[in-house]
Amino acid sequence: MTDRIPPSPQLRETGVMAILRARSADRFGDISRTLVDAGVTCLEITLTSPGALDAIREIRKALPDTVDVGAGTVVDAEQARAVVEAGAGFVVSPSAEPDVVAVARAAGIPAYPGAFTPTEVLAAWRAGATVVKLFPGSAVGPSYITALRGPFPDVAIMPTGGVSLDNIGDWIRAGASGVGLGGPLLGDAADGGDLGALADRAARALAAVRDARAGA
C-alpha cells in the first residue's frame, strides 16, 4: 500500500503512546497535562473509560495542537465515526477490524489495529494500518517481534500489554517502532495518585526508548 498514513511525529519521535484507561475519565485532563509536560505527547483515551468522548474533546481544546490525542478500544465503524467526530487524531483497536481502519483512513488519521498471530499482523497491515498493535504482548515477549520481523520486515509493530518500565528497552531493541504503555505508566494517577510520580514514570519511559534506540 503506497498511500499508508504515517504515524504522528509525536509517536514517531518519542516512541511512547500513553494509554489512559480508568473507571472514570474525570482526572484525564490533569493526567494529560502532566504527561505532556513530562514529554509524552501521544495520548490514547480508551472508550472503556466512562466519559471518554467528552475527555477527548476537552483535552483537544485544553492542550496545544502539538499534542496527539486519539481514541482506543474502538471495535466497530460506528465507534470509529464517533471518535473522529469528537476530534480524535488516531484510532486504536484491540483487534484487526477493516471497517475501523477504513473509517480512520477516510478521515485522514492513523489507524493502529491490534493483531497477534502472523496471519492477523499481515491482514492488519494490508488493510492499511499505520502501525500494527501487537496485543497482548504479555503472552509472548519481545523476542516475538524479532521473529515477526523476519517475514515482515516492512511492518511497523508496537506492543501493548506486557510492556513495563523495566522492559521497554527490550521491546525497542527487538524491533518495535514504539510501545503502548498503560497501567505501568499511569499507576494510581487516575484514582488521585501523585502526579509528580506520574511525571517521573513518564520521564523514565521516554529515556528507556531513547537509550534503546541509541543502542544502549
- Tens of pLDDT, residue by residue over 173-203, are 999 999 999 999 999 999 999 999 999 999 9
For residue 1, what pLDDT band results from cuts at 50, 70 and 90? low
Residue 65 to residues 10, 41, 143, 212, Cα–Cα distance (Å): 11, 10, 36, 28
Catalytic residue among 13, 44, 78, 85: 44
Residue 135 in any domain: the answer is yes
Q: Based on the residue annotation, tell me whether 61 is a catalytic residue of this protein.
A: no
Mean pLDDT of 90-106: 97
Residue 216 in any domain: the answer is no
pLDDT for 130-155, tens place per residue? 999 999 999 999 999 999 999 999 99
Catalytic residue among 78, 85, 97, 133: 133
CATH number at residue 92: 3.20.20.70
Say what the pLDDT of residue 68 is.
98
Chain-centre distance for alpha carbon 108: 17
Residue 73 in any domain: the answer is yes
Q: Based on the residue annotation, tell me whether 78 is a catalytic residue of this protein.
A: no
Residue 157 in any domain: the answer is yes
Residue 2 in any domain: the answer is no
Residue 169 in any domain: the answer is yes
Say what the pLDDT of residue 2 is.
59
Please tell me the distance from the alpha carbon of residue 112 to that of residue 129, in angstroms, as a whole number. 6
Residue 101 in any domain: the answer is yes
216, pLDDT greater than 90: no
Range of the domain at 127: 9-210
Residue 1 in any domain: the answer is no
pLDDT for 108-122, tens place per residue? 999 999 999 999 999
Residue 115 forms beta bridges with which residues? 134
Question: How many domains, in total, are found in the chain?
Answer: 1
Q: What are phi and psi of 11, to 5 degrees?
A: -75, -40
Mean pLDDT for the chain overall: 97
